[in-house]
Structure 1
Amino acid sequence: MPHMRRLSIAVTAGLAATAGLAVPLSPATSAPGSGSSEGTARVFMVNPVQSSNDQGLTDQKDAASAVPDSAYAQVPLTHLDGSGYLRGDYAVVESSTGTPARSATNSFSYDRHQDQFEQVMGYFWVTRAQTYLHTLGFGETLPGVLNEPFSVKINQYGGDNSYQTDKPYRIRLGKGGVDDAEDAEVIVHEYGHAVHASQVPGYGSSLDAGAIGESFGDYLAVTVGLDAAAEFGWPVAADPSCPMDWDSTSYTDAPHCIRSFHLDLTLEDRRNQVHYDGQIWSQALWEIREGYQDLGLTTRDWDTTLIYSQFSYAADTSFQAAAAETYAAAAARDGQAAADLVRDRFAARGITF
């Protein structure tokens, strides 16, 4: 079984301040900015384990030599504010370690030994997650979700953990082992919690709702990464239904995996622990994704329906109630065959309605 280590906790701004975690914004620059909303950057292709399936990779104290150059890719940066910093329409990066990344030409090329690399990862992957939502129609023909600048705090949590807050919306990405901002799936997982909080204020106030939240964060991380891999032609060498395989190298056995989408868990296996129980929901989501393609629909169709259905979830939803809302959205948007698939795959996990 994967070691349940990551705690994705929604807290209020007041709690964060009490914990002494508030930090000032990156200093404004008096030097000229780029004046452009576009740039380039060097990032991991989701993460080095996923792109290579080299299960022997280890952190080695942030050494650049620990990861081959083939794990990196040059990507376009978009939606920048022209300041020369990693700030834009959908992400505003702050860091507690190292000098803030800045480029008068919006060219951000670093390796993992440099603190600025994690800042670039944070900006690129949060922006990528939001632009993916836009390609599905959210903020276009459908209601927007987190359609605003989002605070990404790098190494702002003194441990190998990350979490999200919604007052204000932000994520804090921790350090220790593999620093969390080196794994795109950690970044987007935390962003997934903010998606839920944006759709349903106060979301996650029951054990089932919390488990669904952990599951959706994992699923969103995987689907956003796979979408980027398809667009840029990146390899997906490791099992994509086994997220955060780079981050988890320091605390799991190979093949590395923080959680899994195929453990065949049902409601009878519940432990009343949100990360473990979330894997029940995750397997249903993954199997519905595969089933949509068998029906001649697309994974984007499923992602749109899934995310749209979440507007109707109660903050303290149960597995059964959330599955019923997802079924209704599938019937309305994608037809009865898709809805029947949704019902069947949830029923296989013991979730009936």
Structure 2
Amino acid sequence: MNQKIISLVLGGILCCSALNAQESSFEAPAKNWIKENSRNLGIPEFSGLTLSSVRKSNTGETLRFQQMVKNVPVFQSEIVVHFNKSGKISYTGTESLKKNLKDIHTVPSISASDAFKKAIVASKAQGEIIYQENKLFVYVTEEGDTKLVYRAVINPYENSGSWETIVDAKTGEVISIKDISVYHHRHNDDSHTPKKKKEPKREKIISFKASGSGYVFDPDPLSKTGSAYGGNFADNNDVTNTNLDNARTLVTLSDIEFANNVYKLKNAYVEIRNISAPNTTLFTQATNQFLFNRSESGFEAVNVFWHIDKSMRYINETLGITCRPATNAGAVLYDPHGLSGSDNSRYTTSGTLEFGQGGVDDGEDADVILHELGHGIHHWLSGGVSNADGLSEGCGDYWAQSYSRSLNQWSSSDPEYNWVFSWDGHNPFWDGRITNTTMTYPGSGSYYSKAQIWSAALMRIYNRIGKEKTDRAFLEGLGLTTSTTNQQNAAIAVRQAGIDMLGQFGFNCNDITAMTEEFTAAGYVLPEFSCTLATKETVKETPVSVYPNPVSDVLIVLLKGNKEEKAEIYNMEGRKVMETTIGNNNNRIDVSNLPAGNYILTVKEIELSAKFIKK
């Protein structure tokens, strides 16, 4: 049986919208550190380093310096210098720095437009181009030669793929052409790709935010019902039945677009698009009730929309970590029926997700949806995607498993407890993956096998310190990595993020010990660290008292001091349900009108995040 590959598109630098203006008070000390270590780093004298981005986060401030040769960037070559909240350098990333550069002339002999025409021909791109980029770089070839090149990336609707073409900017020679997507094809290579119909131009219309309802699998029908694949819980060519219909969950579709009397699956975080064949509709309708079953194509459209939206709200609003694509105004574009219906899915560097329909439709399994989103999260935070030893695949597996395990639908003794792709995989179509591998780093086999080392280590940490703290360390840690960081250095970065958050969000020395033990058990080598929580951090760890918990009507929040602060309450879908002010002799929040359930109270100015239960 072939191994199914949930794919991503590699290459390209996509800046995360978390990046602030390229100014920082730490620029001078960061440059001093680079200067003091330039000999050890092997930086050629003819190259320079330019501050390219600054990211401020809960762990401190991260500065990225792009390597340059005569004002032309060196492809995938940068130095990361991170300052913790005490203003001290706590992490540096130098593994992507190109040390074998040769000094070259950086004025191109051919134009960018001519290079792009060559890329169109070389990639056999046909039909509408969904995404394109064309940039000048200093490039180190596989043979070690330094060349001035144009790097073009083209995503055509026909001849689907993400085609990277490297064109010599001096001679016009095409150095390489490859599809930087990773696929597992379950259809014939000569299968017909339907042509995309061009949509008519529309006049600009005024749109409004609206609320809708829809049915989803949360996360999939097998986990929801505790069932095994087969019988009434088999794919059966997308046919529905009473069991599968009953496994659906009715959810709220938040802030969807209402324009010209039509509702559309689009908001600030996610938007449906027709990206690749087949050319299905966008499922707009005159009602806000998107009530489909799995035999209807609209079901996958709603399922993907809701899971991406929920996850993006959790990251950006509940956790307060800015993580969005730089394209399409920060919204994730998705095609619920793409890749010519084949049995794979992909993330592309243009910030798009596409889901195939072979076997179980990929858009019906939250694990597939969140796995692909995990590739994007990795990309947006690190500035690139490294998958040489399965890091990005492991990130996708972790992000999917972190959510599905939080629903507490399987016990730890069930094999499904450690399954990724519980509905789409672990069936006759493909074997799926697991998060309890006994393999240790660096592992063996394909990078899909090695990916399980990373996700398994993170899930063991998850079981010891909890979902929210592991998610925070994972996300903040990726923000310290580069486009070529491997699992080994990512483990150091994730633990360092935990260290830099000591005294915040409940992080304590026991958490750092747990991270150290589990990463070490997975085969990663971590620097020595002795955890001591400073007095000021100990006070910071518990800045307020929040009670009673559970609460039925009034939540008491006792602040230290009299300063007035804004408090926000989020439900477990990541949607803000309440906002008020506390402090200045007001310590009561009336939550009597909230439905029963779990909530998170946040006070960002004092970095409070407290979970409570409304009875």
TM-score range, shorter chain: 0.7 to 0.9
2:339 partner SS: coil
Is structure 2 residue 422 aligned with structure 1 residue 245?
yes
Moved more, 146-155 or 77-86: 146-155
User: For residues 292-317 of structure 1, what are the alpha-carbon distances to aligned partners after superposition, in whole Å with 9 as ceiling and x for unaligned?
Assistant: 1xxxxx42122111111100112211
Native 8 Å contact 1:9 1:164 kept in 2: yes
1:261 to 435, 438, 454: 435
Structure 2, unaligned stretches of length 5 or more? 13-130, 132-152, 162-195, 502-506, 527-615
1:64 is aligned with what amino acid? T
Q: Return the alpha-carbon distance in structure 2 between the equivalents of residues 326 and 100 of structure 1.
A: 39
Q: Return the alpha-carbon distance in structure 1 between the equivalents of residues 282 and 374 of structure 2.
A: 25
Is structure 2 residue 317 aligned with structure 1 residue 127?
no
Structure with the greater alpha carbon radius of gyration: 2
State the structure with bigger RCO (CA 8 A, min sep 6), 1 or 2: 1
How far the C-alpha of 1:290 sits from its partner, in A, is 0.8
Structure 1, unaligned stretches of length 5 or more? 293-297
Shift in alpha-carbon separation, 1:34–1:40, aligned structure 2, 3 A: farther
Native 8 Å contact 1:43 1:120 kept in 2: yes
Is structure 2 residue 482 aligned with structure 1 residue 299?
no
Q: Return the alpha-carbon distance in structure 2 between the equivalents of residues 26 and 111 of structure 1.
A: 27
- Show the 5 A alignment for 1:1-353: 4-11=3-10, 13=131, 14-17=153-156, 20-21=159-160, 35-55=208-228, 56=230, 57-65=233-241, 67-83=243-259, 84-95=263-274, 96=278, 98-138=280-320, 142-146=321-325, 148-158=330-340, 159-166=342-349, 168-204=350-386, 207-208=388-389, 211-227=390-406, 229=407, 235-236=409-410, 239-248=416-425, 249-252=427-430, 258-267=432-441, 269-271=443-445, 273-292=446-465, 298-333=466-501, 334-353=507-526
Partner of 1:295: none
Native 8 Å contact 2:381 2:475 kept in 1: no
Instruction: Give the alignment's TM-score, normalised by structure 1.
Output: 0.84
Native 8 Å contact 1:145 1:195 kept in 2: yes
Moved more, 94-103 or 110-119: 94-103
Q: Return the alpha-carbon distance in structure 1 between the equivalents of residues 249 and 200 of structure 2.
A: 29
User: For residues 23-49 of structure 1, what are the alpha-carbon distances to aligned partners after superposition, in whole Å with 9 as ceiling and x for unaligned?
Assistant: 57877889x999442111011121111
How far the C-alpha of 1:185 sits from its partner, in A, is 1.1
How far the C-alpha of 1:176 sits from its partner, in A, is 0.8
Native 8 Å contact 1:81 1:89 kept in 2: no
Native 8 Å contact 2:323 2:377 kept in 1: no
Q: Return the alpha-carbon distance in structure 2 between the equivalents of residues 27 and 288 of structure 1.
A: 51
Native 8 Å contact 2:316 2:322 kept in 1: no
How far the C-alpha of 1:18 sits from its partner, in A, is 7.3
Which structure is higher in helix share?
1
How far the C-alpha of 1:346 sits from its partner, in A, is 1.0
Shift in alpha-carbon separation, 1:322–1:35, aligned structure 2, 3 A: closer
Paired residues, number = 329
Shift in alpha-carbon separation, 1:73–1:202, aligned structure 2, 3 A: same
Q: Return the alpha-carbon distance in structure 1 between the equivalents of residues 200 and 299 of structure 2.
A: 18
Moved more, 318-327 or 66-75: 66-75
1:200 is aligned with what amino acid? S
Native 8 Å contact 1:21 1:156 kept in 2: no
User: For residues 242-288 of structure 1, what are the alpha-carbon distances to aligned partners after superposition, in whole Å with 9 as ceiling and x for unaligned?
Assistant: 11111113424xxxx611111211126322x2210011111110000
User: For residues 99-140 of structure 1, what are the alpha-carbon distances to aligned partners after superposition, in whole Å with 9 as ceiling and x for unaligned?
Assistant: 4322333110001111111111121111111011124433xx
Q: Return the alpha-carbon distance in structure 2 between the equivalents of residues 267 and 187 of structure 1.
A: 27
1:214 is aligned with what amino acid? E
Native 8 Å contact 1:60 1:66 kept in 2: no
1:80 partner SS: strand
